[in-house]
Structure 1
Amino acid sequence: MGNKQDQTRSGCPIACSLDIFGDRWTLVILRDLLTGKSRYSEFLESPERITTNILADRLARMEEAQLITREPYQARPPRYAYRLTERGRDLHPLLREMSRWANRHYPETWIPPDWFMEE
């Protein structure tokens, strides 16, 4: 796989951003990482019910885009913990604003914890 930055559709910052995290799952995984999940099995427990093949693919893409790193925590079988990079953590304000928008326009959505919503 090449560098994701070299595979963007155009120089438009919105299109570039969507090329990296504009699918159905990447921002959900980022949310989970921001709220403390780090292991594959923990991501599978989320209410959105991501499938294992999609989760593996998105984690690989996120690592390629330098949004996350993976660190082994078990050798046999090999298992990894995933951590946000600075680039990944920089998406927190975007997720916070998306949460505010959804809470305003879809009041049935759950309210994130205060620490998540703090600037």
Structure 2
Amino acid sequence: MISKEDLPACPVATTVMLIGNKWKPLIIRDLLAGTQRYSDFLRTIPGISQKVLTENLRSMESDGIIVRIEYPEVPPRVEYSLSELGETMRPILKAMEIWGNNYKSTFKGE
């Protein structure tokens, strides 16, 4: 987990640092719908590689945004869900959804 000293002074920069890449908001979007398995992300996030997905999931787990639960079964089963902290991002993603829809609506009728 990141230490407080490593965080930028600007709160917007902190948020961007934690979820500001191409993939993390899409991972959070999927988790807002409920618990997901690794293969679910590969199916719902076109273009993400297994390597990049793994890196992002590990980073988000380390940052306390998601929770990873590994079940001792054969074959192994791993599930991901939002942590309590991750759930607080719901309004941020909702605002992004609304803004994105509004922006897209400006192109209708071209």
The answer to whether TM tops 0.5 is: yes
Give per-residue Cα distances to partners, 1:32-90, cap 9 Å, x unaligned. Answer: 01123510000000143311000000000000010011111353443310111111010
Q: Which amino acid in 1 is paired with 2:59?
A: R
Q: Kindly tell me: are residues 101 and 17 of structure 1, through their superposed partners in 2, closer, same or farther at Cα, counting changes over 3 Å?
A: same
Q: What is the aligned-residue RMSD (CA, Å)?
A: 1.8
For structure 1, the 5+ residue unaligned runs are 109-119
In 1, the alpha carbon distance for the partners of 2:44 and 2:84 equals 23
Q: How do residues 1-119 of structure 1 correspond to structure 2 at under 5 angstroms?
A: 3-6=1-4, 7-8=6-7, 10-107=8-105
In 2, the alpha carbon distance for the partners of 1:67 and 1:105 equals 28
In 1, the alpha carbon distance for the partners of 2:55 and 2:61 equals 10
Query: What fraction of aligned residue pairs are identical, expressed as a percent?
Result: 34
For structure 2, the 5+ residue unaligned runs are none
In 2, the alpha carbon distance for the partners of 1:79 and 1:61 equals 20
Question: Whose relative contact order is higher, 1 or 2, with alpha carbons under 8 Å and at least 6 apart?
Answer: 2
SS at 1:11's partner residue? coil
1:14: how far off? 0.5
Q: Kindly tell me: are residues 77 and 106 of structure 1, through their superposed partners in 2, closer, same or farther at Cα, counting changes over 3 Å?
A: same
In 1, the alpha carbon distance for the partners of 2:20 and 2:44 equals 19
TM-score (norm 1): 0.79
TM-score (norm 2): 0.85
Q: Which amino acid in 2 is paired with 1:98?
A: M
